[in-house]
Structure 1
Amino acid sequence: MIEIDALGPAGSYRARQRIPITALDGTKVGELGQVPALFVRRAIAAMRSAPTVPAEERLALMKKAAELFTTATIGGLDPEEYIRIVSTVSGVPQQVVRQSVEWVAEVLRSQCDTLALAMPPGAVAEWSDARTRDGAAVWVRKGDVFAVHAAGNTPAVHGLWPEALALGYKVVVRPSAREPFTAFRLVSALRMAGFPPETITLLPTDYAAADVIIAEADYAIVYGGQDVVDKYGASSRVLTQGPGRSKILITADVDWRDHIEVIADSVSHLGGTACTCTTAVLVEGDPEPVAQALAERLARIPSLPADHPDAILTVQPVATVTAIDEYLHEVAGTARPLLGGDTIVDELRSGGAVLRPAVHLVDSATAPQLGVELAFPCVWVGPWRTTDGIAPLRNSLVLTAMTTRGELVDALLNDPTITNLYLGDNPTTWLRPGVPHDGYLAEFLMRCKGMIRSGI
């Protein structure tokens, strides 16, 4: 049994209320403590009163934490045991967990460069910089405490919030009840590296106390579906990380055959669970050949247990996969299935079921199915015409445009609802530390304050 307790400002705290952590077959593998709202309020108050770690020291501790996160035994789990238990409870293939862990570690190591890239070039990081004598902008925090409501789809979701800690915020993390191990391991690694406990805490809670975390913090990031976006989207203090609805556009001046592998990888990377995974492909001309070729390639992905070294697809309890399959049939409507039309449920002898890929063909660029995002390789392919304009491409976390038309690129780049624009042979799942994902987190948490000084 693996016990995960809260990591408060004064150390580990064993809450009386506890919930089970279960494997895919329903076997209980551990327990997660649930701290009450009163503990949350007291913890965040203590964090507010704590001093801020100096900037250079924060960046050095981040690099040390990266090594601990990837190599140390934490909470009784060495790196391999940690990877196995994450895969066991979440159904995410072990190789996907490993890729995600390396990504998070690279993010920690790269914070110095990321912060420099995010800061306006006309600003300075410290008021003591000589440039403030003649007047300059100083890059400062807008608050003190940043809250994270983490998701449990892959460990890679923990690659964004460390930027807040690097900026000098005190960070409180509410882990996913489905997969709390990564949050626990990362927070522990940061504390082991030398961050004071009152600057980085882990507060597992129920839903009611989770809202208290958001209310007590200055700013927050929240992961979830459209319901989460609807709940928190109107708040200027909350950055929502909801459905990505990432897309690929292929115009007639580009031969799609040269890019089919990139398209397939964009759909299936990380088992199709990431918000950057492609959920819609729009083709100028006949979309059916693209859909057929895509279905062929995705059909080749084997159904394997999550602990198999070649596994790509996510495994979930049979009942969960069956429910997703039923929902897919409901929302597919008149879309023509080319893959996964009969079922996406592939039961394994070892227990659970693999979420098999699905490819559907829609008849227009305005088909409602193009906005449906599911947490497995599920893609909708449809036609696009220049007369459709960029409206069907809006509201995309990532849009890969396979085109040579400069005017179209300008229009896509200037559309405020397209968060990231990739051109040519680049998958929607491409990421690199220092390149913004949903803008730099610093854009949300920092501001420039004018300053001129003399006599000090």
Structure 2
Amino acid sequence: MIDLPGLGPNGEYRSRKRETVVDTAGTPVADLSIAPPLYIARAMAAQRNSTPLPVDQRQAALRKAGAVFATSEAAGLDFEAYVAVASQVSGLPIAVTRFQAREVSEAVFGASDAIEPARPIGAAPDWRGLRRGQPTAIWSRRGDVFGVHASGNAPGVHGLWPQALAMGYRVAVRPSRREPFTAHRLVSALREAGFRDDDVAYLPTDHAGADEIIASADLALVYGGSDVVTKYGGDPRVFVNGPGRTKILLTAEQDWRDHLDVMVDSIARLGGMACVNTTAVLIDGDAAGLAAAIAERLSTIEALPPDDERAILPTQPIESARAIAAFLAARAIGTTAMLGADQVVADLGDGRAVLRPAVHLLADLDSEKLNTELAFPCAWVAPWERANGIGPLRDSLVISAFTEDETLVDELLDEPTITNVYRGPVPTYYSAPGLPHDGFLADFLLRTKGFVSFS
């Protein structure tokens, strides 16, 4: 059993209340301390009473932490042992887990640089060095303490919040109790690299403690599904990363055969578990032919346990997998199953099941089905015409539009509920330095203040 204590302002914290972390086969792997609300309130009060490290020290510590995360030992685990256990508990294939963990390392290393593309061109990061009497804007924090409710579906979510440390925030992280290892390893690395104990805290907790983190923070980041959006979406202090409902659109002049590789990859890459995986494909053309071709390609993916380096598909406890399949079967009523719910569950015989891909053809633009996002490769294919407009594409994290229609691209960019637009055969999971995911985190954490000095 791996011991995972909390990491508070006074170092390691072991509570009376403990929770056993199990892998997808139900085997216990770790003993997790659960911090009570009172401890969390005191820990975050200590963070509020501290001042941030100087900017050059923060930058140096982040660069060092990126390397430490990938090379050091935390909770008795070296990097490969950490990758293995994170894969076991999340069900994410081990090769995908390793790839995302390395991306976290790189993101932490470059966290200070990553906030620069968000800085308004007229804003200075610091008033020092400005000319006497020079009126300008200063980029400034909107608070001091930042709370994070992390999800446990993949390590990659932990690549974002270290940017808050670069901005001078003190950060309190509530890890997912499903996969608490990445957050523990990252907070340990940040402390080893030079951040103080009250700069960044690791606070595993239950629902009451989670509410305390939000209450004690000036601003917060939460991940989750529609229930999380409902709970926090109206709170201006909370930045909600909710469902992706990511889509691909092909207009009439496109031959879908030219883009099949990109579409299949967008559906299945990252185990199909990410918000940037394609949920729906809309086509002005042969929807039935496209759905059949996608299904044929996805059906060739072998169902392998997550510790197999060749594994592509995610794993769940057998009962959870059956529940997902039952939900899918109910939601798919009225569609044509190319790869239906009846073949989704691939029993590994040890309490785990691999989730095989699912593909359904819709007769019309049913928004409820098109926006049904599940944590495995599951795609809905539907016919679309230019006359339908962009209504069926709303509420999407990413739209990859395979089109020559520049007016359509303008409409997609102008639609407030569409977060990212990629034109041409760009996979929906595409990322690059300087490319925002759900806006820039700095857009939420920083603001401009007017400044002028005559002394």
The verdict on a shared fold, with TM-score over 0.5 as the criterion, is: yes
- Separation of aligned partners in 1, 2:444 and 2:341: 42
Question: Deviation digits for residues 265-321 of structure 1, max 9, x if unmatched?
Answer: 110111110000000000002211111110011111111010001101111111110
Question: Which amino acid in 2 is paired with 1:175?
Answer: P
CA distance in 2, matches of 1:55, 1:117: 17
Q: CA deviation at 1:131?
A: 4.5
Partner of 2:201, secondary structure, is strand
- 1:342-389: CA deviations, max 9, x gaps? 230001145411000000000112442101111110000001111100
Counterpart position of 1:418 = 418
Name 1:310's counterpart in structure 2: 310
Give the corresponding residue for 1:143: 143
Uncovered stretches (5+) of structure 1, i.e. residues with no partner: none
Change (3 A) 1:195 1:385: same
Aligned to 1:332: 332
The 8 Å contact of residues 139 and 446 in structure 1, kept in 2 or not, is answered as yes
How many residue pairs match? The answer is 455
The CA RMSD measured in Å over matched residues stands at 1.1
TM-superposed deviation, 1:241: 1.1
Q: Which residue of 2 aligns with 1:92?
A: 92
Q: Deviations over 1:404-453 (max 9, x none)?
A: 11111111111111100001111000112321000000001110000000
**What is the TM-score of this pair, normalised by structure 2?**
0.98
C-alpha deviation, 1:48, in angstroms: 0.5
Return the letter of the residue paired with 1:69. Answer: F
Deviation at 1:257, TM superposition (A): 0.8
1:160 corresponds in structure 2 to 160
Show the 5 A alignment for 1:23-422. 23-131=23-131, 133-422=133-422
* 1:130 positional shift: 1.4
In structure 1, C-alpha distance between the alignment counterparts of 2:70 and 2:432, rounded to whole Å: 18
Q: Give 3-state SS (helix, strand or coil) of 1:196's partner.
A: coil
Q: What residue identity is the alignment partner of 2:28?
A: K
1:229 aligned partner, one-letter code: V
**Counterpart code for 2:320:** T
Residue ranges of structure 2 left out of the alignment (5+ in a row):
none
1:105, CA displacement in angstroms?
A: 1.4
Contact 2:328–2:341, Cα closer than 8 Å, also in 1: no
Q: Which amino acid aligns with 1:197?
A: D
User: Conserved in 1, the CA contact under 8 Å of 2:399 and 2:428?
Assistant: yes
Instruction: Kindly provide the amino acid, as one letter, of the partner of residue 447 in structure 1.
Output: R
Equivalent-residue separation in structure 1 for 2:245 and 2:132 (angstroms): 44
Q: Supply the distance in 2 between the matched residues of 1:11 and 1:131 (Cα, whole angstroms).
A: 43
Q: What's the CA shift for 1:132?
A: 6.6
After TM superposition, give the deviation of residue 333 of structure 1 in Å: 1.4
Q: Does the residue aligned with 1:130 lie in a helix, a strand or coil? A: coil
* Equivalent residues of 1:150, 1:175 under 8 A apart: yes
The structure-2 alpha-carbon separation of the partners of 1:297 and 1:128, relative to structure 1 and needing over 3 Å to count, comes to: same
| Aligned 8 A contact 2:134 2:453 in 1 | yes
Question: Aligned AA for 2:450?
Answer: G
Letter in 1 for 2:269: H
Alignment identity in percent? 51
Displacement, 1:113? 2.5
Paired position in structure 2 for 1:443:
443
Which deviates more, 85-94 or 318-327?
85-94
Q: Any idea what SS the aligned residue of 1:197 has? A: coil
**TM-fit CA distance, 1:69:** 0.6
Instruction: List, as ranges, runs of 4+ consecutive aligned residues in structure 1 with deviation greater than 6 Å.
Output: none
Q: Is the 8 A contact 1:113 1:434 kept in 2?
A: no
Report SS of the residue matched to 2:115.
helix
CA distance in 1, matches of 2:397, 2:113: 23
Q: Please, which moves more after superposition, 432-441 or 141-150?
A: 432-441
The secondary structure found in structure 2 opposite 1:416 is coil
Deviates more, 1:341-350 or 1:357-366: 341-350
1:8-64 deviation line (CA, Å, top 9, x unaligned) = 011111111001111222121111101111101110110011111111221111111
- SS of the residue 2:101 aligns to: helix
Q: Tell me the alpha carbon deviations over residues 91-135 of structure 1, each in whole angstroms, 9 at most, x when there is no partner.
A: 111101111111111211222322211111110001213157411
Question: 2:222 is paired with a residue of what secondary structure?
Answer: strand
In the alignment, is the contact (CA less than 8 A) between 1:110 and 1:433 conserved in 2?
A: no
Moved more, 20-29 or 414-423: 20-29
Counterparts of 1:131 and 1:262, CA distance in 2: 51
Given that residues 218 and 237 in structure 1 are in contact (C-alpha distance below 8 angstroms), is that contact kept between their aligned partners in structure 2? Answer: yes
Task: Name 1:3's counterpart in structure 2.
Answer: 3
Give the aligned residue type for 2:454. S
Normalising by structure 1, we get a TM-score of: 0.98
In 2, are the aligned partners of 1:305 and 1:350 still within 8 Å (CA)?
A: no
Partners of 2:404 and 2:153 lie apart in 1 by 35
1:52 maps to a residue whose letter is P
How many angstroms apart in 1 are the aligned matches of 2:428 and 2:24?
29
Contact 1:133 1:453 (C-alpha < 8 Å) held by counterparts:
yes
Contact 1:107 1:433 in 2 (8 A): no
Kindly provide the CA deviation profile for residues 170-211 of structure 1, in whole angstroms up to 9, marking residues without a partner as x.
000001000000010011101110001101000111101110
